[in-house]
């Protein structure tokens, strides 16, 4: 441990190295010369210098109590500092231990994820930031309709959200990608792009293909994801003591109906279902809030459902940011075993230490201008009015004053969607 500059030995007044010998009032040197360890022991037990007074710089005599008190204060301060360091290390080790509960660091699923050429050029050109993407961390959030706790390939993504963190301000913007959005989801065996609903990308190839779908269609540079199932959301909300949601009259029937299917999917006995009986702002438990997220048959259809999902996510985030240690501990126990992510433990810890600086910003849904219609074999889909222009709006929403222009890949996707619309009369 480095010493304070005030503790360095000063040179003797006569220019010789070492310190001057102190004399007693009668001119003799003190006879009780002891080792440094003996002196330290005496000073600790008696609290003072036992060799009598010594001549100070002004020619007088004084006891060295002030210097001793100063040294004691420094020792106490250093001791407190060491205790704080130990506590921080203990907390860090505890969190690392807890992170073992989660399925973290799945980088292999992201190894083949690419970005469009124009996006790569923007990333590599340090002097050109016309797209305003520098300084942001973008993460894909997936909520899957898993009946057997499968969080990978073979399960549909009910929720697809791009979370964009401004690393400087701590603002987090959320943009839902409507699950039925008609877009390119990946290449078939012949190397041709398949166009269908966005949520089928997760089912076809897991989180890797779903992230690739986002990068291809939206000119993004996403390389990280977090996936949770229904049970994780139910347990998380219950750990936080529920969340407050405004329920409308027309949502009550569908919310209670979805509780039956959600409870069956995650193993909750039907006897534990508590029906919502009246409209208004009220505290929903985990099962109720998760079922609320799934409602799609009221006015607004899938667009309103995506809005409900963002509302619930925002409420969860706000309560988590102000939760006490015991609540956070319950939260970790609830969600980590039911979570799959490409983020490593180190990366999660880094975000956790900065949680107090984060704040939720604006929320929206993509595509912004859209129609619905049957797109051939893909069935009923959400179709962008002008896909490329919607991607421009997407970038402006996330990154502010962006001079983004669609890549050739996005232009090709947009032209194909427009062609398919005409073909299907949508």
User: Exposed, middle or buried by CB within 10 Å (0-12, 13-18, 19+), for 24?
Assistant: middle
Identify the residue with better confidence: 29 or 207: 207
Asked if the 230-337 domain carries CATH number 3.40.50.300, the reply is no
37 pLDDT exceeds 50?
no
Predicted local distance difference test score (pLDDT) of residue 78: 54
The lowest-confidence range among 47-61, 100-114, 279-293 is 47-61
Please report which confidence band the pLDDT of residue 192 belongs to, taking 50, 70 and 90 as the band edges: confident
Predicted local distance difference test score (pLDDT) of residue 225: 94
Which of 235, 236, 293 lies closest to 261, judged by CA? Answer: 293
Average pLDDT over residues 176-192: 91
Q: Please answer whether residues 173 and 361 qualify as being in contact, where contact means their C-beta atoms are separated by less than 8 angstroms.
A: yes
The lowest-confidence range among 31-35, 57-61, 172-176 is 31-35
CATH code for residues 103-223+342-426: 3.30.420.590
Average pLDDT over residues 205-209: 94
Predicted local distance difference test score (pLDDT) of residue 373: 95
| Measured torsion, CA atoms of residues 117, 119, 120, 122, in degrees rounded to the nearest 10 | 130
Predicted local distance difference test score (pLDDT) of residue 337: 75
Q: Please answer whether residues 382 and 366 qualify as being in contact, where contact means their C-beta atoms are separated by less than 8 angstroms.
A: no
Predicted local distance difference test score (pLDDT) of residue 417: 97
Identify the residue with better confidence: 48 or 345: 345
Reported in sequence order, the residue ranges of 39-167 that DSSP labels E, i.e. its strands, are 54-55, 61-62, 136-144, 157-166
162 pLDDT exceeds 50?
yes
Identify the residue with better confidence: 9 or 399: 399
Average pLDDT over residues 36-55: 44
92 pLDDT exceeds 70?
no
Q: Please answer whether residues 279 and 355 qualify as being in contact, where contact means their C-beta atoms are separated by less than 8 angstroms.
A: no
Predicted local distance difference test score (pLDDT) of residue 82: 55
309 pLDDT exceeds 80?
yes
Q: Please answer whether residues 161 and 173 qualify as being in contact, where contact means their C-beta atoms are separated by less than 8 angstroms.
A: no
Q: Maximum distance among all alpha carbons in the chain?
A: 114
Predicted local distance difference test score (pLDDT) of residue 196: 97
CA distance 277 to 216: 44
User: Exposed, middle or buried by CB within 10 Å (0-12, 13-18, 19+), for 36?
Assistant: exposed
Predicted local distance difference test score (pLDDT) of residue 144: 86
Q: Is the link from the previous residue into 397 a cis peptide, with omega within 30 of 0?
A: no
CA distance 209 to 113: 7
339-352 pLDDT per residue, tens = 888 988 778 777 87
231-274 pLDDT per residue, tens = 888 988 998 999 999 999 999 999 999 999 999 888 899 999 99
The pTM (predicted TM-score) of the whole model is: 0.71
Tokens describing residue 56: 């100070």
Looking at the DSSP assignment, which residues form a beta bridge with residue 211?
none
Provide the mean pLDDT of the chain: 79
Average pLDDT over residues 288-293: 94
The lowest-confidence range among 22-31, 90-99, 127-136, 359-368 is 22-31
266-295 residues labelled b (16+ CB within 10 A) or e (exposed):
bebeeeebeebeeeeeeebbbbbbbbbbbb
What is the percent of the chain with per-residue pLDDT over 70, rounded to a whole number? 74
Predicted local distance difference test score (pLDDT) of residue 252: 96
Tokens describing residue 333: 């126990």
CA distance 261 to 258: 5
Predicted local distance difference test score (pLDDT) of residue 84: 54
What are the boundaries of each domain within the chain? 103-223+342-426, 230-337
Query: Cα–chain-centroid distance for residue 55?
Result: 63
Average pLDDT over residues 126-154: 82
Predicted local distance difference test score (pLDDT) of residue 16: 40
Predicted local distance difference test score (pLDDT) of residue 375: 97
Predicted local distance difference test score (pLDDT) of residue 50: 45
Predicted local distance difference test score (pLDDT) of residue 83: 58
Q: Indicate the pairing of strand 182-187 with strand 157-166.
A: unpaired
User: Exposed, middle or buried by CB within 10 Å (0-12, 13-18, 19+), for 223?
Assistant: middle
Tokens describing residue 286: 């985990």
Reported in sequence order, the residue ranges of 261-357 that DSSP labels E, i.e. its strands, are 280-284, 339-341
147 pLDDT exceeds 90?
no
Please report which confidence band the pLDDT of residue 151 belongs to, taking 50, 70 and 90 as the band edges: confident
Compute the radius of gyration of the chain from its Cα atoms. 32
Predicted local distance difference test score (pLDDT) of residue 34: 43
Tokens describing residue 23: 């004399």
């Amino acid at each position: 441990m480095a010493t304070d500059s005030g503790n360095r030995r000063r040179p003797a007044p006569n220019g010789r190295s070492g310190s001057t010998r102190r004399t007693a009032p009668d001119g003799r040197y003190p006879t009780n010369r002891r080792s440094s360890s003996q002196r330290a022991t005496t000073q600790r037990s008696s609290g003072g210098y036992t060799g009598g007074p010594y001549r100070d710089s002004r020619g007088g005599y004084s006891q060295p109590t002030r210097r001793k008190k100063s040294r004691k204060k420094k020792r106490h301060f250093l001791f407190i500092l060491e205790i704080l360091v130990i506590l921080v290390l203990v907390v860090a080790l505890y969190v690392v231990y807890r992170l073992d509960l989660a399925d973290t660091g799945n980088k292999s699923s992201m190894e083949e994820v690419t970005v469009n050429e124009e996006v790569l050029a923007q990333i590599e050109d340090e002097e050109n930031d016309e797209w305003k993407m520098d300084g942001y961390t973008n993460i894909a959030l997936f909520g899957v309709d898993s009946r057997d706790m499968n969080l990978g390939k073979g399960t549909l993504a009910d929720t697809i959200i791009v979370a964009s963190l401004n690393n400087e301000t701590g603002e987090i913007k959320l943009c839902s990608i409507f699950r039925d959005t008609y877009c390119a989801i990946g290449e078939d065996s012949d190397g041709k792009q398949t166009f269908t609903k966005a949520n089928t990308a997760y089912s076809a190839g897991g989180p890797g293909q779903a992230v690739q779908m986002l990068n291809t269609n939206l000119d993004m540079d996403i390389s990280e994801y977090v996936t949770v199932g229904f049970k994780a959301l139910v347990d998380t909300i219950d750990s936080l003591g529920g969340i407050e949601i405004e329920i409308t009259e027309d949502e009550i029937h569908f919310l209670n109906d979805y509780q039956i299917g959600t409870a069956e999917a995650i193993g909750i006995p039907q006897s534990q279902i508590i029906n919502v009986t009246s409209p208004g702002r009220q505290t929903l438990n985990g099962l109720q809030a998760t079922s609320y997220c799934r409602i799609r048959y009221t006015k607004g259809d899938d667009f309103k459902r995506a809005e409900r999902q963002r509302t619930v996510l925002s409420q969860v985030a706000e309560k988590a940011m102000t939760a006490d240690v015991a609540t956070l501990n319950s939260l970790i126990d609830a969600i980590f075993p039911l979570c799959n992510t490409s983020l490593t433990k180190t990366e999660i810890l880094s975000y956790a230490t900065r949680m107090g600086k984060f704040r939720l910003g604006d929320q929206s849904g993509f595509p912004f201008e859209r129609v619905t219609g049957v797109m051939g074999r893909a069935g009923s889909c959400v179709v962008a009015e002008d896909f490329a222009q919607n991607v421009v709006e997407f970038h402006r929403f996330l990154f502010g004053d962006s001079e983004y222009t669609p890549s050739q890949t996005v232009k090709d996707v947009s032209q194909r969607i427009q062609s398919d619309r005409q073909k299907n009369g949508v």
